[in-house]
Structure 1
Amino acid sequence: MGPSISPRRLLGVTIGVCSLLIVAACSTTLQGNAVSVFDDPFKVAGLPATDGPTGLRPGAEGPSRDVGGGDGGDIDNLAASAVSDIEQYWETAYPETFDDGFTPVKALISWDANEFDGTFCDEDTYGLVNAAYCYTDKTIGWDRGELLPGLRRAHGDIGVAMVLAHEYGHAVSRAAGLSNDNTKTLVAEQQADCLGGAYMRWVAEDNSPRFSLSTGDGLNNVLAGVISFRDPVMQEGDPDAGFDEHGSAFERISAFQFGFTDGPAACAGIDMREIGQRRGDLPVLLPEDQTGELAIDEESVRSIVDAMGILFTPQDPPALSFDAEAADSCADARPSPPASYCPATNTIVVDLPALQQLGAQDDNGGLATGDNVAYSVLVSRYMQAIQHARGGVALDNAEAALRTACLTGVATVKMSKQVTTPDGNTIALTAGDVDEAVSGMLTNGLAASDVNGESVPSGFSRIDAFRVGVLGDADRCFKRFP
Structure 2
Amino acid sequence: MNFKIMAAAAAVLVTAACGSPAPEIPSPSQTKGAPPDTSSITIEGDASAPVNQIAIQAIADLEQYWAENYPKLYGQDFEQISGGYYAVTADSPAPPCTTEPEEVAGNAFYCSTEDVVAWDSQELLPTLQSKFGDFVIPVVMAHEFGHAIQARSNFTARTVTRELQADCFAGAWARHAKDDGVFEVTSGGLDTALAGVLDLRDNPGTAKTDPDAHGSGFDRTSAFQDGFDNGLDRCKEYRDDEPMVLALPFNNIEDAAAEGNAPYDSIVNGVPYDLEDYWTQLYPELTNGQAWTPVAGLEAFDPADPPMCGDQSTGGYSLFYCVPDDYVGWDNVETMPRVYEQGGDYAVSTLLATQYGLAALTRLGDESDEKTSTLRADCLAGGYTASVILHNRAETSSWSISPGDLDEGIKALLVFRGDGDADRQGAGFDRVRAFREGVINGAESCLDYQN
Bin for the TM-score computed over the shorter chain: 0.7 to 0.9
Distance in 1 of aligned mates of 2:405 and 2:177: 32
SS at match of 1:107: coil
SS at match of 1:348: strand
Match of 1:379 in 2: 353
SS at match of 1:56: coil
Match of 2:268 in 1: 301
Match of 1:149 in 2: 126
Match of 1:320 in 2: 297
My pick for the range that moved more, 134-143 or 151-160, is 151-160
Match of 1:432 in 2: 404
My pick for the range that moved more, 317-326 or 428-437, is 317-326
Structure 1 segments unaligned to the other structure (5+ residues): 1-23, 31-49, 363-368
| Matched residues, number | 412
Contact 2:297 2:328 survives alignment (8 Å): yes
Match of 2:253 in 1: 288
Contact 1:340 1:350 survives alignment (8 Å): yes
Match of 1:390 in 2: 364
Distance in 1 of aligned mates of 2:47 and 2:423: 47
Q: What's the TM-score, normalizing by structure 1?
A: 0.76
Distance in 2 of aligned mates of 1:389 and 1:432: 32
Match of 2:188 in 1: 217
Contact 2:197 2:217 survives alignment (8 Å): yes
Aligned counterparts, 1:92-241, within 5 A: 92-115=68-91, 117-129=93-105, 130-177=107-154, 179-180=155-156, 183-208=157-182, 211-214=183-186, 216-234=187-205
* Residue of structure 2 aligned with 1:249, choices 204, 217, 230: 217
Q: CA deviation at 1:336?
A: 8.8
Distance in 2 of aligned mates of 1:132 and 1:25: 39
- The superposition leaves residues 204-246 of structure 1 with CA deviations (integer Å, 9 ceiling, x where unpaired) of 01342xx3322x111111111101111111389xxx9934111
Letter of the aligned partner of 1:301 in structure 2? V
Aligned counterparts, 1:461-480, within 5 A: 461-480=430-449
Report sequence identity in percent.
Answer: 26
Contact 1:445 1:455 survives alignment (8 Å): no
Contact 1:296 1:355 survives alignment (8 Å): no
SS at match of 1:246: coil
Distance in 2 of aligned mates of 1:82 and 1:54: 13
Aligned counterparts, 1:22-61, within 5 A: 26=3, 53=26, 55-57=28-30, 60=35, 61=37
Distance in 2 of aligned mates of 1:377 and 1:255: 23
2:90 equivalent to 1:90: no
Distance in 1 of aligned mates of 2:382 and 2:239: 23
Structure 2 segments unaligned to the other structure (5+ residues): 8-22, 281-290
Contact 1:55 1:157 survives alignment (8 Å): yes
Aligned counterparts, 1:330-369, within 5 A: 330=310, 337-362=317-342, 369=343
Contact 1:169 1:196 survives alignment (8 Å): yes
SS at match of 1:66: coil
Change (3 A) 1:442 1:394: same
Contact 2:84 2:115 survives alignment (8 Å): no
Distance in 1 of aligned mates of 2:450 and 2:268: 28
* Residue of structure 2 aligned with 1:71, choices 39, 46, 49: 46
Q: CA deviation at 1:477?
A: 0.6
Letter of the aligned partner of 1:262 in structure 2? N
Q: What's the TM-score, normalizing by structure 2?
A: 0.81
Change (3 A) 1:481 1:80: closer
* Residue of structure 2 aligned with 1:409, choices 368, 382, 388: 382
